[in-house]
Chain A
């Protein structure tokens, strides 16, 4: 099993910062995807309106998830789809294994699916003597390298062309090449044989439509169409949050997802699958099985703040926009889901105790919230999780009450304008006690207890002092004096 180090972000990040190859790759990502997304966004009339609609659809779905999920199941069953329910990853793996074994398959082809990464399906298949073949080019590369994805859309973004060429030389015996078309052609040649032989194909699901029982999967390569179209049995692993109410809701998400993810107006292929073939001589698999995965998701519904995480459509825009991800890459997060969304999902899926550094792996700059196509307030979520960590530490007598209080205040200060004003005013008064030579120096003793976040912050750097008057005060005064400048 791949060793996940989600509670070791600090150490991982330090190592990543010293890796020049990684930096080149990440700069390429930021330059490319951020710009492409910006251009693609401008090709729709009302981007903000679309985001608002998408979020409203997700909110509506999640607030009635039991109903929409059951409606989806009922309608898909009419088309002959078989459903399986999994409370956790182990249960999902067991179900998939049984389905694969029933086909007598020793090998399965897989298309990229974050849900199957989350449950470590490949490890479970290998342990049972079944060979899983990842067929997405990026996923195949990292499978050959025995790594985990470092990005949810471009899994091998951390690897250079040269590293990939070396890997292909070693693992599949090609001549060394620097030609991307040759590398891609190698994958095509080898994986086509696997597609032709495979009895079982395993995929994820992007959206499940309650109204019609349709599953929608998006891609660019064609490997998902192969995986879902060639083998006799198709198994789809689907998080229970992937439901949308109506077929026409797909309009909104098909506009947002490709533009946000890869900067495309539409990916090359969408497969809309609503049941198994009608007649024996029709195309497609004889059986379609959908494994519905909970694995901590239903618990996230219990609070509106954490529930937002379930609106995520896995586009990866928050990774590309994040100044922390841009510096340290995906592996530093030590989890299947990296970046800002990973920092909020991972602690909720794995338990806070196993990933308690991740909610701090952010400067709360808000770039992620800005780009999120479904308007997930990731900074709000991070603060919520930080507060929970502080709460949990209450039982640990070494942690001071003041620290917990500080985090709570810190969190609620940012989320309420009134309190923000009060908080900055209070800080303005208190800083008089600590300002030295025009800077806020290291805070210690009594003051550190009074203003706890400043303790850790100022241990590393000087902060400029807070202005004598707030911006709002100055603004109001300027307005009153009739001089906006």
Chain B
């Protein structure tokens, strides 16, 4: 366990570092003025998203979102209700010979997964168990159409490991939660409320060997997204 001595030791440098920052900033005052002529600081942030958000219809948003999922190699389907989502899940279970499913604790995930009884369905799986599951089922709270991104909030569901550790991730997203731009989403999500927010854009990937794309290096090899239209 950590002792108080350790903590006070490692914050001993706080004052010297802040003092050093202030000293350097003071020293540069004179030349800063000259430099400011070249790089004025004017209202430096205006959300670039405003234009895009109003002009797109609901269907266009879903269309854009799915088009970008497609570009990323994500498998996706638009389903009308939980039953259709469950059908997709059943087919996936059969096709990939799945024995164990880890599920998050969101309401929609429970609705879809509850009637599944031919395979083991594990909620709140331990770390060890998760490594033995072939599929993780979660929902997402938001979708970003312009990049095909899923946004998962920790207060809404225990998503972090279920969406990461099993080799296949199946994610449910309500169509009404899709927005066109990242800028809009950043205004909608609240990091103070959610201790972890995860953005997911496609399956795990790497190009570290000769810049050759390889899918599924640490996280899921397959990402499936079901968009629930009303």
B186 at the A/B interface (Cβ < 8 Å)? yes
Taking CB atoms, residues of chain A closer than 8 Å to B210 are 25, 28, 160-161, 180
A335 at the A/B interface (Cβ < 8 Å)? no
Choose, from B23-31, B76-84, B93-101, B110-118, the stretch at the interface.
B23-31
A403 at the A/B interface (Cβ < 8 Å)? no
- A66, A102, A226: the one contacting B25 at CB < 8 Å is A66
Q: Are A282 and B195 in contact (CB under 8 A)?
A: yes
B18 shortest CB reach to chain A, Å: 5
Q: Are B200 and A60 in contact (CB under 8 A)?
A: no
Q: Which chain B residues numbered 6 to 63 have a C-beta less than 8 Å away from chain A? A: 6-7, 9-14, 16-18, 20-25, 27-28, 31-32, 34-35, 39, 41-42, 44-49
Closest to B72 in A: A268
Query: Which residue of B45, B149, B154, B216 has the most chain A CB atoms within 10 A of its CB atom?
Result: B45
Q: Are B31 and A303 in contact (CB under 8 A)?
A: yes
Q: Are B13 and A269 in contact (CB under 8 A)?
A: no
- B21, B159, B161, B187: the one contacting A65 at CB < 8 Å is B21
The proximity string for B residues 212-223 relative to A, scoring 1 for CB distances below 8 Å and 0 otherwise, is 101011111000
Q: Which chain A residues numbered 82 to 116 have a C-beta less than 8 Å away from chain B? A: 82-87, 91, 95, 98-99, 102
Q: Are B195 and A284 in contact (CB under 8 A)?
A: yes
Measured CA separation A187–B218 after assembly (Å) = 8
A3 shortest CB reach to chain B, Å: 24
B158 at the A/B interface (Cβ < 8 Å)? yes
Q: Are A46 and B48 in contact (CB under 8 A)?
A: yes
Given A69-B18, A229-B164, A283-B160, residue A269 in contact with residue B199 (CB < 8 A): yes
Taking CB atoms, residues of chain B closer than 8 Å to A268 are 200-205, 219
Q: Are A91 and B205 in contact (CB under 8 A)?
A: no
Q: Are A222 and B164 in contact (CB under 8 A)?
A: yes
Q: Are A255 and B11 in contact (CB under 8 A)?
A: no
Measured CA separation A137–B16 after assembly (Å) = 37
Q: Are A284 and B196 in contact (CB under 8 A)?
A: yes
Q: Are B16 and A87 in contact (CB under 8 A)?
A: yes
Q: Which chain B residues numbered 127 to 185 have a C-beta less than 8 Å away from chain A? A: 127-128, 131, 146-147, 149, 154-155, 158-161, 164-165, 182-183
Taking CB atoms, residues of chain B closer than 8 Å to A353 are none
Apart from A276-B195, A291-B10: 5 A-B pairs, beta carbons within 8 A: A135-B218, A251-B49, A268-B202, A277-B195, A281-B124
Q: Are A87 and B17 in contact (CB under 8 A)?
A: yes
A382 shortest CB reach to chain B, Å: 18
Q: Are A298 and B164 in contact (CB under 8 A)?
A: no
Q: Which chain A residues numbered 49 to 96 have a C-beta less than 8 Å away from chain B? A: 49-50, 53, 55-57, 59-60, 63-66, 69-70, 79, 82-87, 91, 95
Q: Are A212 and B192 in contact (CB under 8 A)?
A: yes
A133 at the A/B interface (Cβ < 8 Å)? no
Taking CB atoms, residues of chain B closer than 8 Å to A422 are none
A434 at the A/B interface (Cβ < 8 Å)? no
Taking CB atoms, residues of chain A closer than 8 Å to B14 are 83, 85
A270 at the A/B interface (Cβ < 8 Å)? yes
Q: Are B216 and A188 in contact (CB under 8 A)?
A: yes
Measured CA separation A221–B219 after assembly (Å) = 6
Q: Are A301 and B21 in contact (CB under 8 A)?
A: yes
CB within 8 Å of B: which residues of A? 25, 28-29, 32-33, 44-46, 49-50, 53, 55-57, 59-60, 63-66, 69-70, 79, 82-87, 91, 95, 98-99, 102, 135-138, 141, 154-157, 159-161, 164, 180-181, 183-184, 187-188, 191-192, 195-196, 209, 212-214, 220-223, 225-226, 229-230, 240, 246-252, 254-255, 262, 265-278, 281-284, 287, 291-292, 294, 298-304, 307
Q: Are A271 and B17 in contact (CB under 8 A)?
A: no
Taking CB atoms, residues of chain A closer than 8 Å to B207 are 154, 220, 262
Given A266-B149, A298-B24, A307-B28, residue A255 in contact with residue B182 (CB < 8 A): yes
Q: Are B44 and A57 in contact (CB under 8 A)?
A: yes
B230 at the A/B interface (Cβ < 8 Å)? no
Q: Are B25 and A301 in contact (CB under 8 A)?
A: yes
Q: Are A283 and B192 in contact (CB under 8 A)?
A: no
A248 shortest CB reach to chain B, Å: 5
Q: Are A65 and B25 in contact (CB under 8 A)?
A: yes
Measured CA separation A299–B26 after assembly (Å) = 11
Q: Are A272 and B198 in contact (CB under 8 A)?
A: yes
Q: Are B198 and A222 in contact (CB under 8 A)?
A: no
Measured CA separation A196–B164 after assembly (Å) = 13
A44 shortest CB reach to chain B, Å: 8
Closest to A302 in B: B24
Q: Are B209 and A183 in contact (CB under 8 A)?
A: yes
Taking CB atoms, residues of chain B closer than 8 Å to A283 are 154, 158-161, 196
Measured CA separation A216–B168 after assembly (Å) = 25
Q: Are B2 and A99 in contact (CB under 8 A)?
A: yes
A404 shortest CB reach to chain B, Å: 20
Given A56-B44, A196-B131, A248-B187, residue A225 in contact with residue B219 (CB < 8 A): yes
B141 shortest CB reach to chain A, Å: 13
Measured CA separation A95–B204 after assembly (Å) = 32
Measured CA separation A272–B185 after assembly (Å) = 13
Taking CB atoms, residues of chain A closer than 8 Å to B199 are 266, 269-270, 272
16 inter-chain pairs at a CB distance below 8 angstroms, sorted by A residue, are A28-B211, A65-B25, A184-B209, A222-B218, A226-B165, A229-B164, A247-B191, A266-B201, A271-B197, A274-B196, A274-B197, A278-B155, A283-B161, A287-B2, A301-B28, A304-B34
Measured CA separation A63–B18 after assembly (Å) = 13
